[in-house]
Structure 1
Amino acid sequence: MKVVKFGGSSVANGEQIEKVVNIIRADAERRVIVVSAPGKRTDEDVKVTDLLLKYAHLILSYAPVDNIIAEIMARYAQIAHRFGVVGELVAIRKTLVDLPQHQYPNSEYLIAAFTAHGEKLNALLITAVLNKSGVAARYVDPREAGILVTDEPRNARILSQSYAQIAQLSTTEILVVPGFFGYTKAGCIATFARGGSDITGSILARGLQADLYENFTDVDAIYTANPHVVVNPVPIAKITYREMRELAYAGFSVFHDEALIPAIEGRIHVNIKNTNHPDLPGTLIVPESEMELTTSVTGIASSNHFIALYLHRYLLNKEFGFTLKILNILYRYGVSYEHMPSGIDDLTIIFDSNQLDNETMELIATAIQAEVVPDTLQWVPDYAIIMVVGEGLSQYIGTLERIIAPLAASNVGLQMINKGASRISIMIGVHESEADLAVQQIYASFFSNVGKKVAI
């Protein structure tokens, strides 16, 4: 039995959903379907989730909402008209209009409930489309499926007791489940992080002990580097769980990094495939024990959503509790750090810039200056992290030289270099303006067929 998830681009309009119907028909093993909210149809388009987020903010600011409801309805109407299920639009509109009438614990839960309805309404509509097309299907709400989550309205995590209830689901007919959200024990909707439909699919695959979790998106495979940075990078036929986790964290957006955790726990194989080219093999994500090493590097990723705080103080390494003071300050302001490379007199703290604003940055710097008294303290906003990832990194000699030499030849300055604790990644800090060049040079060093499209 297979659990299949379709991303936002795969269900963006009626034309794409027709491909989804054909994919489901093509394989009788595809019994559980997880769907996202309709995504962008063009680069200039707006995702339905973002329209619902705007709707929530309009409600919170007591602004008129007729136009935004009409815009959301138009997206579902296009799908409904294509498949002749226009009767579903009455219930969809009523659900949207009624959303502000519900009671929510706070504004965060309101936003979570509004944005979750992109998936919920699309799953209901796709269920009707499947039945209209002669495919017996049933909508299953995450509450019925048993997807219980933590009390974090917009960054929820699955509760372990959910898996026992998920295991009881019958797949005698095709089940259509909305992704992205679950329910707290109090019965409130809470969403996973953005891109969380991947997480829902992985949770269901683990709970049902699926033979395979197929994740359909809009690319033929996962590539060794970002195709927007490297021309025609080599596709990856097979990758391990932890390689994928490292690359997803560092910028590979094809698959949500948190989504791998349930699959890892259940040892479920994951297959990334293209809705537009479903017959291509895509990329298979497997346990480390099933990977045969053929190269030192599997992929190269970069991300610019980092910011660093650099501090210098002589004899830093001799002072007891120095790092503890800093960690207590970060805890006080509710900020987590990503990495903390250090030397005998220097320390760099790397943060995800998405969790910082100017006020928080100033408060943290002021507190560190007062309590730690560094000789130098400065924020480094122009910061990017590059991850070079591969199960073979620890097995092949000379890998680090092959990474650093082309960067030196291209005058790319290294702000930081750190061998990951997992032993399968090397992390490099560079100026944001040099990140793309660095990726291109490292790629050229490890993949001889630069510029060639290679079949999987």
Structure 2
Amino acid sequence: MVKVVKFGGSSVADGKQFEKVAAIIREEEARRLIVVSAPGKRFAEDIKTTDLLIHLADAAAEKKDYDAELQQVIERYTAIVESLSLPSQLLAELKAQLISLIETYQEDHPRLYDALMASGENENAKLMAAYLQQLGEEAYYVSPEEAGMVVTDDPGNARILPESYEKIAKLRERSGRLVIPGFFGVSKTGHIVTFPRGGSDITGSIIGAGAEVDLYENFTDVDSIYSVNPSLVEKPHEMEELTYREMRELAYAGFSVFHDEALHPVVKKKIPVCIKNTNHPQAAGTYIVDEREQRGLPVIGIASDKGFISINVRKYLMNKEVGFGRHLLHILAEEGISFEHTPSGIDNMSIIVREEYLNEEAEKKILERIQKELDVEEVHVERELAMVMVVGEGMAKTVGVAAKATTALAEAGVNIKMINQGSSEVSMMFGVNASEADLAVTSLYNACFAKAKA
């Protein structure tokens, strides 16, 4: 058996956490492929190493004296090196590498940010490999380039290239434990390119799929995935198992425990994922699988995400106008705007987009084009919306889930702006005012999990 194990930022935040991680790795011979994040927060008010590296990139890009920012980064790693009694030479090499990257990319800001941000994971992987060697393990630092992580050349938005998987597969043939930095790959032109932030999950998934491992263990700081944000509900229901599709829906709607783009590689190979706690590794965790037995409650989780706006369009006999929807979406595509949902009626259609994609200039241009090109009676934008998702593959075979959900929202006084449910019935989406999102989630949770709490 071979496993890929990924450790998040909180799991590798300091020397004590490194000790826990090493103990977990050494418990099983199968834990041979190890992916690490950059050091995360050591306490609530702390700053993540990635953020320190962004501050360093800001100073370098503006051609300011960056000695203070550089020293802050070095100090984070110094604390780990000294705590574990690792060779001080590692710090000298780290400093030289950061300065070299700045000198190489100072005039190319997108690449400067990618290179420096990726350093958080890259240098941490070197420290982890060195620490495992110090403990007597046969362990090696493996750069993404050496591992075969060849990606597209799109700074901050890397995508793995299909030909990468053939080289990644050879990792299984190597001896010892291989420590690979998460979050980035290398383009064909030799540049460092990062995945979207949180992309160490993506790296773990790609390595797992390429090496066709038996299990992908993702270690974080919770015992399992909860059915709802634990800050909203006391002692929330814990999930033992959920499917890829259910996890994808929940991750999209705001579950931060697993990056929503990270599932794609393992889904293709049907590799199970287990979410576990670095600080409590004996806990069973939550398994994410291709299929699961439908037992218990039909709903498995409820989540919400804010920051949406709705472009609402109304035109009489819209449903009779061939190609109306295609033309409307084509306008957004031409303006480079990605849409999320398209709930509609016979004379109206709404396009839900993330607010970050639609600035004032883009909004004005899109509304003018819709009015002119589609000759609509009304088009306006509605802001400060949240999408609340009720997720569970069991809903497809259960009568009355929608009625229970809408009743719960009505009794809580939450105004439903829109309802959308896909044909697969894995999820049900409610659009509500952002100010009522938390109330909507708690009322839905209480309605759907009442039996579980009783």
TM-score, structure 1 as length reference? 0.95
2:112 alignment partner AA = L
1:299-310 equivalences under 5 Å are: 299-310=301-312
Q: Is the 8 A contact 1:157 1:192 kept in 2?
A: yes
Deviation at 1:272? 0.1
Aligned to 2:371: 369
- Distance in 2, matches of 1:160 and 1:168, equals 15
Aligned to 2:422: 420
- Distance in 1, matches of 2:158 and 2:258, equals 18
Q: Is the 8 A contact 1:233 1:450 kept in 2?
A: no
Deviations 1:31-78 (A, max 9, x none): 011000111122222111112122222222112211110010010000
Aligned to 2:52: 51
Deviates more, 1:160-169 or 1:52-61: 52-61
1:127-276 equivalences under 5 Å are: 127-169=129-171, 170-276=173-279
1:158 alignment partner AA = I
Deviations 1:359-387 (A, max 9, x none): 22222223223323332222211200011
- Distance in 1, matches of 2:175 and 2:433, equals 54
Deviates more, 1:56-65 or 1:247-256: 56-65
Q: Is the 8 A contact 2:297 2:449 kept in 1?
A: no
Are 2:93 and 1:88 equivalent residues in the alignment?
Answer: no
SS of the residue corresponding to residue 222 of structure 1 reads coil
CA RMSD of aligned residues (A): 1.6
- Distance in 1, matches of 2:48 and 2:394, equals 39
Structure 1 counterpart of 2:319, from 317, 335, 356 = 317
Aligned to 1:282: 285
TM-score, structure 2 as length reference? 0.96
Aligned to 1:101: 103
Aligned to 2:70: 69
Q: Is the 8 A contact 2:6 2:204 kept in 1?
A: yes
Cα gap change, 1:186/1:363 in structure 2, threshold over 3 Å: closer, same or farther? same
Q: Is the 8 A contact 2:105 2:111 kept in 1?
A: no
Moved over 6 A (4+): none
Deviation at 1:328? 2.6
2:267 alignment partner AA = I
- Distance in 1, matches of 2:453 and 2:71, equals 46
- Distance in 2, matches of 1:140 and 1:132, equals 17
Q: Is the 8 A contact 2:312 2:351 kept in 1?
A: yes
- Distance in 1, matches of 2:452 and 2:67, equals 52
- Distance in 2, matches of 1:19 and 1:178, equals 18
1:334 alignment partner AA = G
- Distance in 1, matches of 2:322 and 2:59, equals 51
Aligned to 1:121: 123
Structure 1 unaligned blocks of 5 or more: none
- Distance in 2, matches of 1:112 and 1:266, equals 29
- Distance in 1, matches of 2:39 and 2:168, equals 25
Deviation at 1:199? 0.5
1:292 alignment partner AA = Q
- Distance in 2, matches of 1:211 and 1:449, equals 35
SS of the residue corresponding to residue 150 of structure 2 reads coil
SS of the residue corresponding to residue 214 of structure 1 reads strand
Q: Is the 8 A contact 1:391 1:424 kept in 2?
A: yes
Cα gap change, 1:154/1:404 in structure 2, threshold over 3 Å: closer, same or farther? same
- Distance in 1, matches of 2:107 and 2:420, equals 43
Deviations 1:316-343 (A, max 9, x none): 2222332233223212221110011111
2:255 alignment partner AA = F
SS of the residue corresponding to residue 392 of structure 1 reads helix
Deviation at 1:451? 6.7
Deviates more, 1:379-388 or 1:328-337: 328-337
2:370 alignment partner AA = I
Deviates more, 1:217-226 or 1:97-106: 97-106
2:282 alignment partner AA = D
Aligned to 1:393: 395
SS of the residue corresponding to residue 247 of structure 1 reads helix
Aligned to 1:407: 409
Deviation at 1:449? 5.8
Count of aligned pairs = 451
Q: Is the 8 A contact 1:444 1:450 kept in 2?
A: no
Structure 2 counterpart of 1:338, from 337, 340, 356 = 340
Deviation at 1:103? 4.7
Deviates more, 1:48-57 or 1:103-112: 103-112
Deviations 1:388-420 (A, max 9, x none): 111111101111111111111112111111112
Cα gap change, 1:394/1:449 in structure 2, threshold over 3 Å: closer, same or farther? closer
Aligned to 2:349: 347
- Distance in 2, matches of 1:394 and 1:451, equals 23
2:294 alignment partner AA = E
Deviations 1:7-52 (A, max 9, x none): 0111111121111111112112110110001111222221111121
Structure 2 unaligned blocks of 5 or more: none
Q: Is the 8 A contact 1:232 1:451 kept in 2?
A: no
Deviation at 1:138? 0.2
- Distance in 1, matches of 2:14 and 2:368, equals 51
SS of the residue corresponding to residue 439 of structure 1 reads helix
SS of the residue corresponding to residue 158 of structure 1 reads coil
SS of the residue corresponding to residue 216 of structure 1 reads strand
Cα gap change, 1:199/1:419 in structure 2, threshold over 3 Å: closer, same or farther? same
Aligned to 2:112: 110
1:14 alignment partner AA = G
1:426 alignment partner AA = M
Deviates more, 1:59-68 or 1:175-184: 59-68
- Distance in 2, matches of 1:269 and 1:436, equals 31
Deviates more, 1:358-367 or 1:48-57: 358-367
Q: Percent identity?
A: 48
